[in-house]
Each structure stands twice: as structure tokens, then as C-alpha cells.
Amino acid sequence: ETGVTQTPRHLVMGMTNKKSLKCEQHLGHNAMYWYKQSAKKPLELMFVYSLEERVENNSVPSRFSPECPNSSHLFLHLHTLQPEDSALYLCASSQSPPTGGDVDEQFFGPGTRLTVL
């Protein structure tokens, strides 16, 4: 596979369920991102991992828990979600220069459409 892949593509869950979203990038990048896209709202950055270390956490509720076991994989663990968490969750990756300078464009996966009942 090439690029950035996400599974599952669609997920319906109840408020008491626990599920995980998976993202895998095949581009050799060293930074990965989770975004939330709700209807009629801008893309919202949730988490940034650089070299497998979390560098950004945009005040996301604790019911969302990210995990980055290596530079190619990123997970978003979900538990006790609310209906307002229903959205498209997009993963992206990019290459950060080793000197800590500016990053290039981000490459996005196809997203997981999450519905919380």
C-alpha cells in the first residue's frame, strides 16, 4: 500500500463502547497527526506526534487517547464517547527536518467516518 491508510473507514459505536482507529503511513515520514473534521467547521488538530513523541495536544477530552508505537503507526483509542464526537477523523503524516526546522506539506489518509449513537 502507498501513502497514508486508515482503518476502519466507517465506525458506528455506542457511548459505552471502546474502539480504536488505526493509521499507517508508508511514506517514511517522522511526524503524524490526528484531525477531527465536523460538519461546517474547520479541520481541528487533535494530536501531533514527532519521532514517536507527542508534541501537541490541543485540549482534547481524555476520552480520546492517542498512541504512537513507531513512526509508521498511529492509533486513536476511543471510550465513552458522546454523540457530538461524531465526525470524520483524519490522519496525516509529514517529514520534519532533523534540525527541528519547518515541516513540509502534510499527506492525509482517507479518514474514518465515526458515528456515536
Partner 1 sequence: EDKVVQSPLSLVVHEGDTVTLNCSYEVTNFRSLLWYKQEKKAPTFLFMLTSSGIEKKSGRLSSILDKKELFSILNITATQTGDSAVYLCAARFQGAQKLVFGQGTRLTINP
Summarize as ranges the residues that interact with partner 1 (CB under 8 A): 4, 31, 33, 40-45, 48, 50, 55-56, 88, 90, 94, 96, 100-111
CA 30, 33, 34: angle at the middle one, nearest 5?
A: 155
Residue 36: half-sphere exposure toward Cβ, Cα within 13 Å: 18
CB of 67 to partner 1, least distance (A): 18
CB of 64 to partner 1, least distance (A): 16
Phi, psi (5° rounding) for residue 18?
Answer: -120, 130
CB of 8 to partner 1, least distance (A): 13
CB of 10 to partner 1, least distance (A): 11
Nearer to partner 1 (CB atom), residue 11 or residue 48: 48
Nearer to partner 1 (CB atom), residue 14 or residue 115: 115
Angular region, 46: left φ>0, alpha ψ -120 to 50, beta rest: alpha
Nearer to partner 1 (CB atom), residue 80 or residue 103: 103
Nearer to partner 1 (CB atom), residue 44 or residue 52: 44
Sign of the dihedral through C-alpha 89, 21, 100, 98: negative
Helices (H) and strands (E) in the chain, counts: 0, 11
